[in-house]
């Protein structure tokens, strides 16, 4: 068995050494853009070059080093019949739930107000938060979205979820499809986006959508920057349709110097850190799936490339 690592890491040995330890029967190679084909059986990738699929014609499956596979699907010559496998959780869902909860508490517990009072030496208690006034809607009910929704529901928030298909989740009111999107939005004050990026979801979060949220609305975007129409977000803030936004993903990363988001006090910016890939858990999952696939056993996380997730 031959495994090819294609991720652009300046220190690929951080990945290849444990891969060799976990799959000792395999030969492990690092992608060399100027090298010959290695006739790999499996590739472990992150935003691979098109040259990979021009050179490696015998791949049985490609494993993506992340839950979001839009970067891989952009490769123009990705073979239609190639098995594409996304990363499932690997420690990311708990991180994402923590991040969303933190941003929610920043808003509804008025934490910035208390920090400003500390700077001014002011001791003042504000009105206690009522969870009933902060209904949360989670867009996207994949592995990560479900973890976020369950975490908030367990803390007694009123939580709704919306996805393309039907889902059932204890403590969460589920909505499905375009016909139920409006009902979902009107039940939501805090909108959390965990959707995959597809042609259907690109630019989904626009002024019209944000205008349907409850008064004093908050947006928390941990999906993809391309989900959000940036000018529409600024307009929604200016028009009072939105109270604040917490953004961890952007159309262009790093966020360019001089971008208007930097100057808006209503926008919290973090540099795509809501959930980081945990190397050990990631490799344990991927190598286990490689071994199962090689031995003809079924594996989870296979992507429907036509749907985009």
Active-site residue flag, 259? no
Q: What is the pLDDT of residues 196-215, one digit of tens each?
A: 999 999 999 999 999 999 99
Catalytic residue among 86, 143, 224, 244: 224
pLDDT at 57 over 90: yes
Number of neighbouring beta carbons within 10 Å of residue 272:
15
Residue 248's pLDDT is: 98
Q: What is the DSSP letter of 165?
A: S
Coil vs helix vs strand at 126? coil
pTM, full prediction: 0.92
In sequence order, the 6+-apart residues with CB closer than 8 A to the CB of 46 are: 6, 7, 8, 64, 65, 66, 71
Partner residues linked to 84 by β-bridges? 62
Token pair 């920057």 in the structure block, residue: 225
Residue 302's pLDDT is: 97
Residue 270, token pair as written in the block: 């973090």
Q: What is the pLDDT of residues 274-299, one digit of tens each?
A: 999 899 999 999 999 999 999 999 99
Pick from 130, 95, 141, 97: nearest CA to 281: 95
Q: How confident is the model at residue 227 (pLDDT cuts 50, 70, 90)?
A: very high
| Residue 67 or 213, more confident | 213
DSSP run (H or E) holding 53: helix 51-55
Catalytic residue among 20, 264, 272, 291: 272
Partner residues linked to 219 by β-bridges? 191, 245
127: Cα separation from own chain's centroid: 34
Partner residues linked to 268 by β-bridges? 246
Active-site residue flag, 224? yes
Residue 82's pLDDT is: 97
Residue 67's pLDDT is: 87
């Amino acid at each position: 068995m031959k495994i090819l690592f294609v991720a652009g890491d300046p220190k690929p040995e951080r990945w290849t050494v444990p891969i060799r330890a976990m799959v000792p029967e395999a030969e492990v190679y690092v992608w060399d853009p100027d090298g010959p084909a290695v006739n790999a059986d499996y590739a472990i990738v992150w935003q691979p070059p098109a040259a990979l699929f021009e050179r490696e014609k015998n791949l049985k499956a490609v494993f993506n080093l992340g839950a979001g596979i839009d970067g891989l699907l952009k490769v123009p010559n990705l073979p239609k019949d190639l098995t594409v496998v996304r990363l499932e959780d690997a420690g990311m869902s708990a991180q994402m739930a923590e991040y969303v909860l933190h941003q929610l508490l920043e808003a509804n517990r008025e934490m910035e107000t208390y920090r400003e009072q500390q700077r001014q030496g002011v001791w003042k208690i504000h009105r206690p938060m009522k969870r009933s006034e902060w209904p949360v809607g989670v867009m996207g009910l994949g592995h990560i979205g479900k973890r976020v929704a369950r975490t908030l529901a367990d803390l007694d928030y009123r939580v709704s979820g919306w996805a393309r298909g039907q889902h059932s989740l204890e403590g969460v009111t589920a909505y499905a499809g375009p016909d139920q999107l409006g009902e979902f939005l009107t039940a939501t004050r805090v909108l959390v986006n965990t959707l995959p990026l597809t042609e259907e979801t690109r630019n989904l979060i626009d002024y019209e959508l944000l205008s349907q949220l409850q008064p004093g609305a908050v947006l928390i975007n941990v999906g993809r920057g391309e989900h959000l129409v940036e000018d529409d977000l600024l307009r929604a803030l200016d028009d009072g349709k939105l109270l604040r936004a917490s953004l961890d993903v952007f159309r262009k990363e790093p966020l360019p110097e001089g971008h208007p988001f930097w100057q808006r006090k209503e926008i919290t910016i973090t540099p795509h850190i809501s959930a980081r890939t945990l190397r050990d858990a990631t490799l344990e999952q991927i190598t286990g799936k490689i071994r199962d696939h090689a031995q003809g056993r079924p594996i989870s996380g296979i992507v429907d490339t036509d749907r985009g997730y």
